[in-house]
Amino acid sequence: MDLMLIFSLTCVAIFFIILLGLVMLLVTSEAYPNLGRFDSEKVFTDPKKDEKEEFPSIHDPPSVDLSVIVPAYNEQDRLPMMMDEALEYLEKRQTESPSFTYEIIIVDDGSSDKTSETGLKYSKKCGTDKVRVLTLEKNRGKGGAIRLGMFVARGKLLLFADADGASKFSDYRKLEVEMKKINKKPDNLAIVCGSRAHLEEDSIAQRSFFRTVLMKGFHFVVWFLCVRGVKDTQCGFKLLTREAAILLFSNLHVERWAFDVDMLYLAQYFSVPIAEVAIVWQEIEGSKMIPVWSWLQMGRDLILIRLRYLIGAWKIRSDVKSL
């Protein structure tokens, strides 16, 4: 058989395989994210009264200045350190400025340990006006947990912070200052990302060559396919306006590790102002991420994110007020 013919047939076969893959992706993808909740996820427990109370909705008017969303999966051991640090800062802030109000929402993402019980101790100590626990029926992933926490928050500003306490909580002040600088439009849409990019050189020195290559490769794929202009997309310390949280988390399709990229992709799609602020960060033992495997999984997810939006498998809503 002529070599040119073999080459042509191979190209045709590859084309049809790619086409079939795209069709399968289109057919098997849900156009819009599932925003449904179990009935048990619509209420929280007041341990002082031993009663269930209904969560408010993010579509209600805000009633506190700041909501802190803490996604937690099997975090009974690391959560107390983070909560103690956060409460120390927030209580001090409230003492200095009595008009400042806040709440912390711990989202137990289907844990098998006593994460909810640990959180409820803080609800009992501080009261449910300041600390509430949202216990999910099943594990949804970090992005899914944060979404459901956002949807029951009362804050004008909404911060999500990891339960491990890797980020220095008092750096919230830096994010708040930057938020005032960039949030100038009447639509009240803005995001400020805590960033560890300034620590990259030190972390490279401590990593193996292979892990460094994977990290750099992941950053390149993020830049090339999804998000440009943000050096650290994965830091779990981000501040959003209430309006930005409604818009972005109502459209968020990715519920696991790569959710930050999906959120920032959507932010850039909607031209939401984004800023980065360097924060203090430290590695905490007990991470649920397996570095090499997690980066490979996220790399795959990034390609699928771009493809699904590109071929129209995933849709984006502009009007989310009625959802």
Q: How confident is the model at residue 4 (pLDDT cuts 50, 70, 90)?
A: confident
102 falls within a domain? yes
Tell me what pLDDT residue 319 has.
82
Residue 8: pLDDT band (50, 70, 90) is low
SS3 of 90-104: the string is: HHHHHHHCCCCCEEE
For 45-97, write each residue's pLDDT tens digit: 999 999 999 999 999 999 999 999 999 999 999 999 999 999 999 999 999 99
Query: Whole-angstrom Cα distance, residue 180 to residue 123?
Result: 30
Identify the domain containing residue 113 by its residue range.
43-201+231-290
Residue 160 CA neighbour count, 13 Å, CB half = 27
Mean pLDDT for the chain? 87
Average pLDDT estimate for 183-192: 94
The verdict on residue 5 lying in a domain is: no
- Is residue 124 a part of any domain in this protein? yes
Give the per-residue pLDDT at 206: 46
Q: What's the rounded Cα separation, in Å, for the pair 146 and 239?
A: 12
Give the lowest-confidence range in 37-41, 134-138, 209-213, 279-283: 209-213
Q: Tally Cβ neighbours within 10 Å of residue 299.
A: 18
What is the count of structural domains for the chain?
1
pLDDT at 287 over 80: no
Helix-, strand-, coil-residue percentages of the chain, each rounded to 5: 45, 15, 35
- How far, in Å, are 44, 130, 156, 165, 240 from residue 66 at the CA level? 19, 10, 6, 18, 10
| Reported confidence tier of residue 208, pLDDT bands at 50, 70, 90 | low
- The pairing of strands 43-46 and 51-54 is antiparallel
Instruction: Say if CB 144 and CB 109 are below 8 A apart.
Output: yes
Q: 210 and 150 in contact (C-beta within 8 Å)?
A: no
**CATH of residue 263:** 3.90.550.10
